[in-house]
Structure 1
Amino acid sequence: MKKDLVYRQKYLETVRPFMGKRLIKVFTGQRRVGKSYLLFQIMQEIQTADENAHIIYINKEDLAFSHITTAENLNDFVQEQKKSGQKNYIFIDEIQEITDFEQALRSLLLDDELDLYCTGSNAHLLSRDIAGSLSGRAIEINVHSLSYFEFLEFMKLDDSDKSMSLFLKYGGLPYLKDLPLQDNIVFEYLRNIYSTIAIRDIVNRYALRNVQFLEQLTQFLASNIGNLFSAKKISDFLKSQKITTSSTQVQNYAEYLANAFLIHKVPRYDIEGKRIFEIGEKYYFEDLGLRNALIGYRVQDRGKLLENCIFNHLQIAGYDVKIGGLNSQEIDFVAEKNGERIYVQATLTINEEKTLEREFGNLLKIQDNYPKYVVTMDEFEGNTFEGVQCLSLRRFLKEILGQM
């Protein structure tokens, strides 16, 4: 169980107040973002504090636990393995693979000698249970692909333009630290991860027949990061490419991709009317490397990758993120946390006057005093124009993640 671990402090700090408490700690997120890795880190902390701690680890990807398929199997296994008269720490990896798992968790939670932790890779299934039958009994912690600064720590790199370019190309799945950072090796690994997500978490789970359409939709979304769409618009475009579909099918398949945490659907918010628009949303990928593995890394896509990178880091920093609409103008991100708000415009460069006018001009039309940022790949320390801060991507990420 002892592993050479690079600690992901953000998530450990989030879970520590709940350790030892009669709450189920549920780590959710895309496959291979490091949920199991976090379980091992928590186990290590527990064993450091108490070398006699009794830990029961169940990994549903391990054939040794293939017999645990139902709530009854899970409950029986834990009861057989637990030690009475002391604290038992139960860790269950990929719990969504166990039928009616929530019934077992509710039952196990009644035993004050058990401290429960689990991971899962299906947003719909887990969120439904956490909000429903496990309401008030579970804390959900969403685990993301590595942030840029975690990527630097994992890969033992300095903060530089070159490192940022590597991050935008390869993304932040933790296992990359054990691979040579070469296109053929990294992208082959990432394509295999995508295949696992597509087949196990989507095709098999939802009994999909049109696997080719799932692939086409995923590639379409990967090519159109940052574009405003509706299910109907996507359907109409795919039909123009001789791909038979309907807006309902697009909506369902996009939801399946989001449930597997592969993509994020971001709604559009009317800044003046303070409401969510019914039509129009954007899609961003959880991991940039997976996106690039699907359709190839292209230098001309750096603007899209910049926007996706900003979105991911706003989420990592704990913001609720929406697309902003202001009359006919668009604000890339409206991000809220703890009653505060920031506005963000992303642009590859601000060397052209038209770009400068568009990005700053849109933000200046917002009639409030919340912080406003223009974020660019240009490298400079930043300046302010009429209250709008212009920052390089690396500087902005430091600011929102508290790395300054």
Structure 2
Amino acid sequence: MIDRPHYLAQLRRWKDRDLIKVVTGVRRCGKSTLLRLFATELEKEGVPPNRIITINLEQLENERLIDYRALHDEVLSRAQPNAMNYVFIDEVQNAPDFQKAVDSLYTRPNIDLYLTGSNALLLGGTLATLLSGRYVEVKMTPLSFSEYRTASAQAKEALSPQRLYDRYIRNGAFPATFDFASDDLSLHDYLEGILSTVLFKDVAQRLNIANSLALDALASFMFDNVGNLASAKRISDAMTSQGLRIAPNTVAEYLSGLVNSYIFYPVKRYDIRGKRLLKLHEKYYAVDMGLRRMALSGQLRDTGRVLENVVYLELMRRESSVCIGRIGEAEIDFVTEGPEGRAYYQVAETVADAGTLARELAPLQALRDNQPKLLITLDDVSPRSHEGIWQVNALDWLTDSTGGHLA
């Protein structure tokens, strides 16, 4: 199993606290493995196996537990009295009315409850009302580049950082892709299976979508346009011009399904001078670059925007919030708020050309505060300052060897 230290640290931090731990993320990103890793840690700490209760609601042998009463009673029948029991329920949203079982189990003083789910609706509606203030969400994605590098080292691969990055954006970061590193056909089939399952099971079935052609086309369009400003009207107009008529309200509905299934992440724009979020237009980034390449018929398009997407995913892991910055007519790729405060980021594949460097620095130079400002590129350079704006190599930054904000 590939180690996931970032997420394990979060589970450790919340262990034995009076909160339900909910691990969310796209299918096959490693949620079940994370729970197994954590269960192994618990056993090493001396927790007996009979106090670690694991139920996967995607497994056929647990089909009877889809009934929330049966699920509830199964956990209680296995729980040991007068001792803390660690209960892991995988894909809990597969049980209709699961929130009733969860709410009851939460009240038991001898149960520490951990859930996983592949749809954001898990934390919506009734459950959010029932558990308001009583749960913590652990947002999981496929492997970060740092985790990917560690897994590569464990597999005794001898790849340079650049070659490893090239494979990372080509094959994607789902943990199982390591099994297909040299088998393109199996890799394609695996990634296609993930996307097909999400589109059919997590989106089409939940939203009762009969027109799967339009849903597939929208997903492909969004993969092709990561990092571009978008709205339902803009997307509708663009797809109509390409020969597929799809109404803006339909775009909005389908897109919400893709977002709720963690295939895409919407990022709002923030007016830095006006200190407000902008209501019109946002950008979308994809959960995985291998999935994107597969959806685009095997083409690795726009490697600059691919880098921007990779940086966004890393910022999402590290920071509390990520927005697109606007200052006047200029745009800053990312504005973040996190434990160390605010920071600003520009992302460019290369700034070897003086004109490109000047263009990328200009929005950051327009800022009048003293918060950290970074220019992240794939240029093979050591960290350097452009009048207080730090230029760093993306591969160093992704593995955190640059020391974070450098300010």
The alignment's TM-score, normalised by the length of structure 1, stands at 0.94
Answering whether residue 119 of structure 2 is matched by residue 118 of structure 1, we say no
**1:57-113 deviations in whole A, cap 9, x for unaligned?**
111110001112232121122223223333322110000111111111111112112
**1:129-170 deviations in whole A, cap 9, x for unaligned?**
564211222111111111001011122245511111111111
Q: 1:46 to 1:258 in 2, by over 3 A?
A: same
Work out whether residues 145 and 172 of structure 1, in 8 Å CA contact, stay in contact via their aligned partners in 2. yes
Work out whether residues 120 and 126 of structure 1, in 8 Å CA contact, stay in contact via their aligned partners in 2. no
Q: What residue in structure 2 maps to residue 15 of structure 1?
A: 11
Give the 3-state SS of the residue equivalent to 2:274 in structure 1: coil
Q: What residue in structure 1 maps to residue 310 of structure 2?
A: 309
5 Å-filtered alignment, 1:134-153, equals 134-153=131-150
Answering whether residue 130 of structure 2 is matched by residue 133 of structure 1, we say yes
Distance in 2 separating the partners of 1:182 and 1:366: 48
Letter in 2 for 1:135: S
Work out whether residues 58 and 65 of structure 1, in 8 Å CA contact, stay in contact via their aligned partners in 2. yes
Work out whether residues 188 and 293 of structure 1, in 8 Å CA contact, stay in contact via their aligned partners in 2. no
Answering whether residue 104 of structure 2 is matched by residue 103 of structure 1, we say no
Q: 1:336 to 1:296 in 2, by over 3 A?
A: farther
1:246 positional shift: 1.4
Q: What residue in structure 2 maps to residue 56 of structure 1?
A: 53
Letter in 2 for 1:197: V
Match of residue 81, structure 1, among 47, 65, 78: 78
Answering whether residue 370 of structure 2 is matched by residue 373 of structure 1, we say no
Work out whether residues 53 and 87 of structure 1, in 8 Å CA contact, stay in contact via their aligned partners in 2. no
Give the 3-state SS of the residue equivalent to 1:162 in structure 2: helix
Work out whether residues 317 and 400 of structure 1, in 8 Å CA contact, stay in contact via their aligned partners in 2. no
Q: What residue in structure 1 maps to residue 242 of structure 2?
A: 241
Distance in 2 separating the partners of 1:9 and 1:306: 23
Give the 3-state SS of the residue equivalent to 1:68 in structure 2: helix
Work out whether residues 129 and 135 of structure 1, in 8 Å CA contact, stay in contact via their aligned partners in 2. no
Distance in 2 separating the partners of 1:266 and 1:97: 28
Q: What residue in structure 1 maps to residue 172 of structure 2?
A: 171
Distance in 2 separating the partners of 1:22 and 1:299: 46
Q: 1:51 to 1:356 in 2, by over 3 A?
A: closer
1:400 positional shift: 8.3
5 Å-filtered alignment, 1:252-263, equals 252-263=253-264
CA RMSD of aligned residues (A): 1.9
**1:291-320 deviations in whole A, cap 9, x for unaligned?**
111104445521111010000000111341
5 Å-filtered alignment, 1:2-401, equals 5-50=1-46, 52-54=48-50, 55-128=52-125, 131-156=128-153, 157=157, 160-338=161-339, 340-399=341-400
Give the 3-state SS of the residue equivalent to 1:209 in structure 2: coil
Distance in 1 separating the partners of 2:245 and 2:310: 32
Q: 1:128 to 1:181 in 2, by over 3 A?
A: farther
1:128 positional shift: 4.3
Task: Tell which deviates more after alignment, 202-211 or 303-312.
Answer: 202-211
Letter in 1 for 2:202: D
Give the 3-state SS of the residue equivalent to 2:130 in structure 1: coil
Work out whether residues 123 and 260 of structure 1, in 8 Å CA contact, stay in contact via their aligned partners in 2. yes
Work out whether residues 96 and 126 of structure 1, in 8 Å CA contact, stay in contact via their aligned partners in 2. no
Q: 1:29 to 1:328 in 2, by over 3 A?
A: same
Q: 1:181 to 1:111 in 2, by over 3 A?
A: same
Count of matched residue positions in the alignment of Structure 1 and Structure 2? 400
**Percent of residue pairs bearing the same amino acid type:** 35
Q: 1:159 to 1:133 in 2, by over 3 A?
A: farther
Q: 1:35 to 1:401 in 2, by over 3 A?
A: farther
Structure 1 unaligned segments of length 5 or more: list them: none
